[in-house]
């Protein structure tokens, strides 16, 4: 699949002067709750009301959504407020009900995106409609799988498309519920600049206090929209209570976000930027040159190890290097996380080089 201008026609047609805002509760709980939230959202920059109708929960025994009755509430909210509506669909039966209740946008959840069989089933169910489909990233950091799901919809004639970045599962505990791995959506934007990209900070954060920091990062990375879980009484929400915010906090948070231009147009700005960018180019040349030189020394060590029958991996030496580089990094205002990432990549390349020497 190639980038297509038509992907974003639906978004351009909304003629927004700010990023698209999709807001609403994690789950539709009652008619009263959903209508209350929808009416409050009408006074914010929200264009689309979201509500989970069927909730895929990690463990059984939790609230699994209102099911079909919730679609009636969603339809009523749309009639009363004029907001567009969206919900998650996870199989063909969900699609059929959502179509019947005139839901405008359907999103595919992270646990669905991982399964090409189910994505295909859903794609067949929306074939011939003019629905907007938003595909959340798969739970695992796999760009091809994410794009593969988008492609399945395009292949059945759906051209109003978009993707939602909700972060990736990790075994390690981090400050996030789902790790953002920003590099993946950046790669995606590079390949598909016209595919609308929407951030779901609620699921990345898993908590309220960092939602708008994540939104600001997304806007600085040229995201097109935000999907934020919003509830009239977040602490007592039936699902994902920790990460939901009130419509009033949504309004305040959105107001504080800085929307920057994608490019600067002033001549002085452009000149200064070019000067600094040539400095970066020069430094990047040096980095590559030094990496090449380091790998030549590594090749020589590989040759010696081969002659003397010594193993490639030397844990003690490797740990000494890491300790020294973390220290040096911190003296240069580089985070330990960054230094570790770079040096682990260098070590892997070094091992690959030595393997080649050993196998020759
Ligand atoms: C180059 C060596 O082999 C491996 C690679 C290292 C490196 O690239 O710095 C360090 C230790 C070893 O795991 C070595 O033994 O010094």
**High-pLDDT (> 90) share of the chain, %:** 92
Atom of ligand 1 nearest to the CA of 315: 13
CATH assignment of 269-359, among 1.10.3720.10, 1.20.59.10, 1.10.1130.10, 1.10.1060.10: 1.20.59.10
Q: What is the enclosing helix (H) or strand (E) of 338?
A: helix 336-359
Please report the pLDDT score of residue 156 as a whole number. Answer: 98
Ligand 1 pocket mutation, candidates 312, 315, 358, criterion most atoms within 8 A of CB: 312
For the record, the structure tokens of 34 come out as 């959903």
Q: Which residue CA neighbors atom 4 of ligand 1 most closely?
A: 313
What number is the average pLDDT over the span 207-224?
A: 96
pLDDT in tens, 23-68: 999 999 999 999 999 999 999 999 999 999 998 777 777 888 899 9
Place of tokens 């749309």: 78
Please report the pLDDT score of residue 64 as a whole number. Answer: 84
Model ipTM? 0.97
Ligand 1 pocket mutation, candidates 312, 350, 352, criterion most atoms within 8 A of CB: 350
For the record, the structure tokens of 207 come out as 């908590």
Please report the pLDDT score of residue 174 as a whole number. Answer: 85
pLDDT greater than 90 at residue 161:
yes
Atom of ligand 1 nearest to the CA of 298: 1
**All CATH 3.20.20.70 domain ranges in the chain, comma separated:** 5-256
Ligand 1 pocket mutation, candidates 345, 347, 352, criterion most atoms within 8 A of CB: 347
Can you tell me the distance from the alpha carbon of 168 to that of 175, in angstroms, rounded to the nearest whole number?
13
Residue 187 binned pLDDT confidence (cut-offs 50, 70, 90): very high
- 315 alpha carbon to ligand 1 midpoint, in Å? 8
Please report the pLDDT score of residue 10 as a whole number. Answer: 98
Please report the pLDDT score of residue 273 as a whole number. Answer: 94
DSSP, residue by residue, 312-328: S--HHHHHHHHHHHHHH
pLDDT in tens, 78-114: 999 999 999 999 999 999 999 999 999 999 999 999 9
**For residue 52, which of 70, 35, 79, 37 has the smallest C-alpha distance?**
70
How many CA atoms within 13 Å lie on the side-chain side of 111?
Answer: 9
Please report the pLDDT score of residue 58 as a whole number. Answer: 74
DSSP, residue by residue, 259-274: ---SS---HHHHHHHH
Please report the pLDDT score of residue 171 as a whole number. Answer: 83
Please report the pLDDT score of residue 317 as a whole number. Answer: 98
- 181 alpha carbon to ligand 1 midpoint, in Å? 28
Neighbours of 119 (CB within 10 A): 22
pLDDT greater than 90 at residue 73:
yes
State the sign of the Cα–Cα–Cα–Cα dihedral 334, 338, 344, 348. Answer: negative
Please report the pLDDT score of residue 60 as a whole number. Answer: 79
Ligand 1 pocket mutation, candidates 291, 303, 317, 346, criterion most atoms within 8 A of CB: 317
Cα→Cα distances 26→23, 51, 225, 272, Å: 9, 6, 17, 46
Please report the pLDDT score of residue 25 as a whole number. Answer: 97
CATH architecture of 5-256: Alpha-Beta Barrel (3.20)
- 298 alpha carbon to ligand 1 midpoint, in Å? 7
For the record, the structure tokens of 9 come out as 């026609």
Residue 263 binned pLDDT confidence (cut-offs 50, 70, 90): confident
Atom of ligand 1 nearest to the CA of 301: 1
pLDDT in tens, 5-28: 999 999 999 999 999 999 999 999
Please report the pLDDT score of residue 93 as a whole number. Answer: 96
Q: What is the mean pLDDT of the chain?
A: 96
Q: Which residue CA neighbors atom 10 of ligand 1 most closely?
A: 318
What number is the average pLDDT over the span 272-301?
A: 97
**For residue 162, which of 84, 73, 276 has the smallest C-alpha distance?**
84
Strand ranges, E, within the chain: 20-24, 48-50, 84-88, 105-108, 132-136, 161-165, 197-199, 225-229
Residue 181 binned pLDDT confidence (cut-offs 50, 70, 90): very high
Atom of ligand 1 nearest to the CA of 313: 13
Residues near ligand 1 (Cβ within 6 A): 298, 301, 312-314, 317-318, 321, 347, 350
Atom of ligand 1 nearest to the CA of 350: 8
Atom of ligand 1 nearest to the CA of 294: 8
DSSP, residue by residue, 174-231: -SSSSB--THHHHHHHHH-TTS-EEE-HHHHHSSSTTHHHHHHHHHHTT--EEEEEB-
pLDDT greater than 90 at residue 207:
yes
pTM for this entry: 0.82
Neighbours of 222 (CB within 10 A): 14
pLDDT in tens, 119-129: 999 999 999 99
**All CATH 1.20.59.10 domain ranges in the chain, comma separated:** 269-359
Please answer whether residues 223 and 18 qualify as being in contact, where contact means their C-beta atoms are separated by less than 8 angstroms.
Answer: no
Please report the pLDDT score of residue 132 as a whole number. Answer: 98
pLDDT greater than 80 at residue 313:
yes
Q: Which residue CA neighbors atom 7 of ligand 1 most closely?
A: 347
């Amino acid at each position: 699949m190639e980038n297509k201008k038509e992907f974003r026609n639906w978004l351009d047609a909304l003629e927004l002067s700010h990023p698209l805002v999709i807001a609403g509760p994690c789950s539709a709980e009652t008619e009263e709750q959903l209508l209350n939230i929808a009416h409050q959202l009408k006074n914010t920059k929200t264009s689309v009301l979201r509500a989970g109708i069927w909730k895929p929960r990690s463990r059984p025994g939790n609230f699994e959504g209102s099911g079909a009755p919730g679609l009636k509430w969603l339809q009523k909210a749309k009639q009363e407020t004029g907001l567009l509506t969206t919900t998650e669909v996870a199989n063909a039966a969900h699609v059929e009900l959502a179509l019947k209740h005139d839901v405008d946008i359907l999103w595919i959840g992270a646990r669905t995106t991982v399964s090409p069989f189910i994505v295909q089933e859903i794609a067949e169910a929306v074939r011939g409609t003019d629905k907007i489909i938003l595909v959340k990233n798969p739970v695992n950091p796999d760009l091809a799988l994410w794009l593969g799901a988008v492609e399945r919809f395009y292949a059945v004639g759906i051209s109003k498309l978009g993707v939602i970045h909700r972060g990736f599962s990790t075994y390690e505990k981090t400050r996030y519920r789902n790790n953002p791995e920003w590099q993946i959506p950046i790669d995606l934007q590079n390949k598909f600049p016209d595919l609308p990209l929407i951030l779901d900070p609620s699921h990345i954060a898993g908590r309220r206090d960092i939602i708008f920091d994540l939104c600001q990062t997304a806007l600085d990375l040229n995201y097109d929209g935000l999907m934020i879980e919003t509830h009239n009484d977040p602490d007592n929400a039936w699902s994902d209570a920790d990460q939901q915010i009130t419509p009033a906090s949504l309004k305040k948070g959105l107001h504080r976000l800085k929307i920057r231009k994608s490019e600067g147009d002033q001549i002085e700005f452009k000149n200064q930027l070019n000067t600094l960018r040539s400095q970066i180019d020069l430094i990047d040349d040096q980095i590559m040159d030094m990496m090449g030189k380091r790998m030549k020394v590594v090749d020589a060590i590989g040759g010696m190890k081969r002659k003397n029958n010594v193993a490639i991996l030397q844990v003690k030496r490797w740990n000494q290097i890491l300790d020294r580089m973390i220290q040096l990094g911190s003296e240069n205002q580089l985070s330990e996380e960054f230094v570790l990432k770079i040096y682990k990549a260098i070590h892997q390349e070094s091992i690959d080089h030595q393997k080649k020497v050993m196998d020759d």
